[in-house]
Amino acid sequence: MIRSLRGMNDTLDIDDSARFSYFIQTATRIAKNYGFRFIETPQLEETALFKRSVGESSDIVGKEMYQFTDKGDNDVCLRPEGTAGVVRAFVQNKYDRQETVQRLFYHGTMFRYERPQKGRLRQFHQFGCESFGEANVLEDASLILMVRDIFNALGINFTLKLNSLGDSNCMPQYRDTLIEFLGSNEEDICEDCKRRKATNPIRVLDCKNSHCQEIYADAPKLMQNLCEGCDTDFKALTNILDEHGLSYEIDTHLVRGLDYYSKTAFEFISTEIGAQSAIAGGGRYDRLVEFLDGRPTPAIGFAIGIERLMELIKMPETSREGYYFGAMDENAINLAYKIGMKKRQRDKVTIGYKARNLKAHLKAADKADAQYCVILGENELKNKTLWIKDLVDKTESEIPQSEF
Ligand code: HAM
């Protein structure tokens, strides 16, 4: 028997697919309230796109890409994340030349060749938002508050971790100070960190090795070495979050696994799902549009990992919606179908195609999660009426077909 690949799952279970659609529906509604509109980009892109954005020294590009040469001899890969493709589309479609702020959201499958375990898949889904053209720290606050709103709407508890990664004024200087610190501890740090020291030193700060972490407790902190602009913005951001009652932890070791960030970086963590606890992550990436050959454009975004939320989402008590149409008499099937099809133009409608007794239809309406069960039998045909049961408040009524 041919089986699905490791770390790649089917979503078949009724509960899971209901949760999945409920998540997309809720997140889409909230993103639209914040002024975002939908964008879809391809799942396959040139490998160079991710090398230049996510960064060659990152684990994602260095170890986890589904990369291959296609039949036209192009070096391509399945997208490991959504931001790079959205930025490419933004530049390719010349949105970087427009003066207006562009706010885009997307959802879809991402691919990372990681070691599969609970909450860590090789094919997974993200819901992401990217905002272009707004340098004001109010936008940083808005995106973080939007993630809060999405999680609150779904009944998900979280902890927010926040850091600033500085900008081109203060980061290079900090990097030198950190390299110096790593040099004086060269004997004691792990092999990975020795390599990171040469390729991307700030990534040492989230090394999983506990001995390294003991050493880095004394490492210089970027938070204390921010330039005036970054420092002012970070304080302004925390003030806005305070004003909106959103608590956070400042985590000076939060560096994120992708190289494109500057200034604000954040992660939402759940303590209820085991080791893979990050349920969303994001930050500012003011230099990325330029790196991908666009006009310099400030930008910020986030992505939520949908699979990690599945067991946390609290579904609404009743999901009943729309109508079920059933006929109790062979002669009524056509009319039930006709009225059902009309109603379908505006509402969710399920139509039973066979004449059955009332009990069978009520059962089918219940299974279809309909709010109303509408029945046409011999009497209703004669009287030109419809029998309706509201499956939420359990009331029954008979109304003229013309009124329906
Ligand atoms: P990321 O932190 O790499 O950021 O991924 C965002 C979220 O995707 C994670 O917090 C996690 O919930 C989920 N995720 C990541 N890898 C896996 C996996 N192997 N299996 C299941 N879920 C996973 C980004 O991807 C950035 N593009 C976010 C962003 C958007 N930054 C700015 N704009």
Q: Which DSSP helix (H) or strand (E) runs through 174? A: helix 171-184
* Percent of the chain residues past pLDDT 70, beyond the cut: 100
Tokens representing 25 are 């529906």
User: How confident is the model at residue 288, as a pLDDT?
Assistant: 97
Q: Residue 318 above 80 pLDDT?
A: no
Cβ atoms of 69 and 44 closer than 8 Å = no
Atom of ligand 1 nearest to the CA of 279: 12
Rounded to the nearest angstrom, the distance between the alpha carbon of 353 and the centre of ligand 1 is 45
Q: What would the mean pLDDT of 105-121 be, rounded to a whole number?
A: 97
CATH code for the structural domain at 14-170+226-312: 3.30.930.10
Rounded to the nearest angstrom, the distance between the alpha carbon of 218 and the centre of ligand 1 is 29
User: How confident is the model at residue 378, as a pLDDT?
Assistant: 93
Q: Compute φ and ψ for 61, nearest 5 degrees.
A: -80, -40
User: How confident is the model at residue 16, as a pLDDT?
Assistant: 87
Q: Which DSSP helix (H) or strand (E) runs through 18? A: helix 14-33
Ligand 1 contacts (CB < 6 A) are 81-83, 112, 114, 120-121, 124, 126, 128, 130, 257-258, 278-283, 301-303, 305, 307-308
Atom of ligand 1 nearest to the CA of 258: 3
More confident residue, 128 or 317: 128
- Walk across the sheet containing 75-78 and list its strands: 44-46, 75-78, 67-69
Distance CA 186, CA 198 (A): 12
Rounded to the nearest angstrom, the distance between the alpha carbon of 292 and the centre of ligand 1 is 21
Which amino acid residue places its CA nearest to atom 7 of ligand 1?
A: 305
Q: Residue 370 above 90 pLDDT?
A: yes
Burial class (CB in 10 A: 0-12, 13-18, 19+), 218: exposed
Give the type of residue at 224: Q
Tokens representing 12 are 């078949």
Cβ atoms of 361 and 324 closer than 8 Å = yes
Q: What would the mean pLDDT of 254-270 be, rounded to a whole number?
A: 95
Tell me the pLDDT band of 13, cut-offs 50, 70 and 90: confident
Rounded to the nearest angstrom, the distance between the alpha carbon of 261 and the centre of ligand 1 is 14
Q: Residue 14 above 80 pLDDT?
A: no
Q: What are the pLDDT digits (tens) for 84-112? A: 999 999 999 999 999 899 999 999 999 99
Which amino acid residue places its CA nearest to atom 2 of ligand 1?
A: 281
| Mutate-to-test residue for ligand 1 from 124, 251, 289, highest number of ligand atoms within 8 A of CB | 124
- DSSP secondary structure letter of residue 5: P
User: How confident is the model at residue 252, as a pLDDT?
Assistant: 94
Atom of ligand 1 nearest to the CA of 114: 19
> Hey, what CATH topology would domain 323-400 get?
Rossmann fold (3.40.50)
Tokens representing 361 are 């239809």
- DSSP secondary structure letter of residue 52: I
Q: What would the mean pLDDT of 219-236 be, rounded to a whole number?
A: 96
Tell me the domain boundaries of the chain: 14-170+226-312, 323-400
Which amino acid residue places its CA nearest to atom 8 of ligand 1?
A: 305
**Residue 202 C-alpha from the chain's centroid:** 26
Rounded to the nearest angstrom, the distance between the alpha carbon of 65 and the centre of ligand 1 is 14
Q: What would the mean pLDDT of 342-361 be, rounded to a whole number?
A: 96
Q: What would the mean pLDDT of 80-85 be, rounded to a whole number?
A: 98
User: How confident is the model at residue 11, as a pLDDT?
Assistant: 87
> Quick one: which of 157, 145, 92 has its CA closest to 309?
157
Atom of ligand 1 nearest to the CA of 80: 25
Which amino acid residue places its CA nearest to atom 33 of ligand 1?
A: 301
Atom of ligand 1 nearest to the CA of 256: 2
* Interaxial angle between packed helices 14-33 and 137-153, expressed in degrees from 0 to 180 and rounded to the nearest 10: 150
Q: Compute φ and ψ for 227, nearest 5 degrees.
A: -70, 170
User: How confident is the model at residue 206, as a pLDDT?
Assistant: 87
Rounded to the nearest angstrom, the distance between the alpha carbon of 125 and the centre of ligand 1 is 9
Rounded to the nearest angstrom, the distance between the alpha carbon of 304 and the centre of ligand 1 is 6
Atom of ligand 1 nearest to the CA of 122: 19
- Summary mean pLDDT of the chain: 95
Tell me the pLDDT band of 403, cut-offs 50, 70 and 90: confident
User: How confident is the model at residue 119, as a pLDDT?
Assistant: 95
Q: Residue 319 above 90 pLDDT?
A: no
The whole model's pTM is what? 0.89
Tokens representing 121 are 């898949």
Burial 107-122 (b: 16+ CB within 10 A, else e): bbebbbbbeeeebbbb
Which amino acid residue places its CA nearest to atom 25 of ligand 1?
A: 81
Rounded to the nearest angstrom, the distance between the alpha carbon of 347 and the centre of ligand 1 is 35
Tokens representing 209 are 């090795």
